[in-house]
Amino acid sequence: MTLPVVALVGRPNVGKSTIFNRIISQRLSIVEDTPGVTRDRIYAHGEWLGKEFSLIDTGGITLNDQNLNQEITSQAEIAIDEADVVVMVTDARVGVTNEDEVVAKILFRSHKPVILAVNKADNLQQRQDIYDFYALGLGEPYAVSGVHGTGMGDLLDALINQLPLAGNEPADDTIKFSFIGRPNVGKSSLVNAILGEKRVIVSAAEGTTRDAIDTKFINRADQTAYTMIDTAGIRKRGKVYENTEKYSVMRAMRSIDRSDVVVMVLDGAQGIREQDKRVAGLAHEAGRGVIIAVNKWDAVAHKNQKTMQEFRDYIRDEFRYLNYAPIVFVSALHHQRLDQIMELVQQVTVNQNRRIQSSLLNELLLKATAVAPAPIVKNKRLRLYYLTQVATAPPTFVAFVNDPDLFHFSYERFLINQLRTTFEFTGTPIKIIARKRK
């Protein structure tokens, strides 16, 4: 299901990130009383009265920019292009500014639904002063306080009334997988090589692919229908210069959300960089199946019989949280071992949706606790009574225990390893939730 998209826009230091955090009920976006502190777009899921949507917190524009109006114009236009509904955030303490008027004019001409939020209306006097914002021509202003939460209910009520209906797309039973990675590792080249025809722009220039491109095809080898999602390269935080590049990060995150399996692409010739770990972490945290594809293996110099195994050990050491992900060494240029990617995508999809009977799980639990008894924490021993599977994609299990606070992450990791040893869960993360037995 593709969720409707809501973008928060406005000049710097009006409290967009504070409102963003208030809506998603967590401190995901960095909040600091300094103009322009939000450098990257932040993307998360929001929900109000049972209606879900994707929420974008746009980056602030520094007041030192020489071409401020040009920057504001570019910022607003990108948000308009991406969003179904735009929330324009202003500041009740400062009042209407020239920059607010620039953004409002662009939004007015866009014919997109716009909700006007007047933030920092923390007291009665500030809430009464919001009527000046009618001059922006965007309709009724909503007085809110992102810090205290006042007025947010009315704002969200107005917001969800403007949202398009989600989930009306035709049923799609294809296996969906995406390529992610930092720019210029060869994601688009892999797409073209697998399809056998050019449907995606391939260029040595980083960031060529601005948006995700979906391509449906049937794999001749297994006659299975797939949807392949090519995503924009994810650039290192602090080194994203173009506004369109910043939005490509958000689009990549959305592509991960829409995928069953994610193929993390590395550059075999350049090795692993710190940003590779952060990119892979997006898929791991989302609970998607993960495959690691080392591209450009043909360009690796001075290979011998041990090179591949040494690089595999290198990956395992750098990506310890992805020890479940299979590794394949490929070359998009020479079409080497591309069939292994498709085989792994199908295998990981099956593993993502695997269900294990409770009787088998509790046999495993008895053997595991016999081999390694649960630890004693604060003079109290953890007791595990029952293990059952409650969800798939990713496989999720509930362990009923005497005290969830005693369920240390090290013992959780032990049980996950036991599950992997006993059952086939290659390529998929596993979650275990501890609950107190009633």
Query: According to the annotation, is 10 in a ligand binding site?
Result: yes
Determine the Cα–Cα distance for residues 216 and 158; give it in Å rounded to an integer.
Answer: 37
Query: According to the annotation, is 233 in a ligand binding site?
Result: yes
Query: According to the annotation, is 369 in a ligand binding site?
Result: no
Query: According to the annotation, is 219 in a ligand binding site?
Result: no
The whole-number pLDDT of residue 230 equals 66
Query: According to the annotation, is 14 in a ligand binding site?
Result: yes
The whole-number pLDDT of residue 72 equals 53
Are residues 233 and 211 in contact, defined by beta-carbon separation less than 8 angstroms? no
DSSP secondary structure letters along 72-107: HHHHHHHHHHH-SEEEEEEETTT---HHHHHHHHHH
Query: According to the annotation, is 21 in a ligand binding site?
Result: no
Query: According to the annotation, is 358 in a ligand binding site?
Result: no
Report the Cα–Cα distance between both ends of the chain, in Å, rounded.
Answer: 36
DSSP secondary structure letters along 7-59: EEE-STTSSHHHHHHHHHTS--S---SSTT---S-EEEEEEETTEEEEEEEPP
Query: According to the annotation, is 216 in a ligand binding site?
Result: no
Residue 26 exposed, middle or buried by CB count within 10 Å (0-12, 13-18, 19+) = exposed
The whole-number pLDDT of residue 70 equals 60
pTM value is 0.71
Q: What is the DSSP letter of 271?
A: B
Query: According to the annotation, is 121 in a ligand binding site?
Result: yes
The whole-number pLDDT of residue 201 equals 46
Query: According to the annotation, is 106 in a ligand binding site?
Result: no
Q: Are strands 384-391 and 396-401 parallel, antiparallel or unpaired?
A: antiparallel
Give the chain's radius of gyration (CA, Å): 25
SS (H, E, C) 103-149: HHHHHHHHCCCEEEEEECCCCHHHHHHHHHHHHHCCCCEEECCCCCC
Domain limits, the chain: 5-162, 175-352, 358-436
Query: According to the annotation, is 17 in a ligand binding site?
Result: yes
Query: According to the annotation, is 91 in a ligand binding site?
Result: no
Determine the Cα–Cα distance for residues 267 and 299; give it in Å rounded to an integer.
Answer: 9
Query: According to the annotation, is 377 in a ligand binding site?
Result: no
The whole-number pLDDT of residue 222 equals 83
Query: According to the annotation, is 119 in a ligand binding site?
Result: yes
Q: Give the CA angle between residues 144, 146, 148 to the nearest 5°.
A: 90
Q: Tell the CATH superfamily of the 358-436 domain.
A: K homology (KH) domain (3.30.300.20)
Query: According to the annotation, is 57 in a ligand binding site?
Result: yes
Q: What is the DSSP letter of 216?
A: E
Q: Give the CA angle between residues 24, 30, 36 to the nearest 5°.
A: 120
Query: According to the annotation, is 196 in a ligand binding site?
Result: no
Structure token digits, residue 305: 């019989």
pLDDT digits (tens, 9 = 90+) for 157-170: 999 999 987 555 55
Query: According to the annotation, is 405 in a ligand binding site?
Result: no
Query: According to the annotation, is 12 in a ligand binding site?
Result: yes
Query: According to the annotation, is 153 in a ligand binding site?
Result: no
Query: According to the annotation, is 102 in a ligand binding site?
Result: no
Query: According to the annotation, is 211 in a ligand binding site?
Result: no
Report domain 5-162's class: alpha beta
Are residues 48 and 122 in contact, defined by beta-carbon separation less than 8 angstroms? no
Helices (H), 208-306: 243-258, 274-286
Q: Which among 425, 379, 363 has a CA at the least distance from the CA of 371?
A: 363
What SS3 class is residue 227? strand
Q: Which among 380, 187, 393 has a CA at the least distance from the CA of 296?
A: 187
The whole-number pLDDT of residue 71 equals 56
Spans in the chain with pLDDT lower than 50: 27-41, 60-64, 201, 203-205, 207-210, 235-246
Query: According to the annotation, is 427 in a ligand binding site?
Result: no
Residue that has been written with the tokens 């409102």 in this structure = 19
Query: According to the annotation, is 353 in a ligand binding site?
Result: no
The whole-number pLDDT of residue 82 equals 72
Cβ atoms within 10 Å of 369's Cβ, excluding its own: 17
The whole-number pLDDT of residue 421 equals 96
The whole-number pLDDT of residue 314 equals 96
Same fold, 5-162 and 358-436: no
The whole-number pLDDT of residue 202 equals 56
Are residues 435 and 399 in contact, defined by beta-carbon separation less than 8 angstroms? yes
Query: According to the annotation, is 438 in a ligand binding site?
Result: no
Query: According to the annotation, is 110 in a ligand binding site?
Result: no
Query: According to the annotation, is 187 in a ligand binding site?
Result: yes
Task: Tell me which CATH code domain 175-352 carries.
Answer: 3.40.50.300
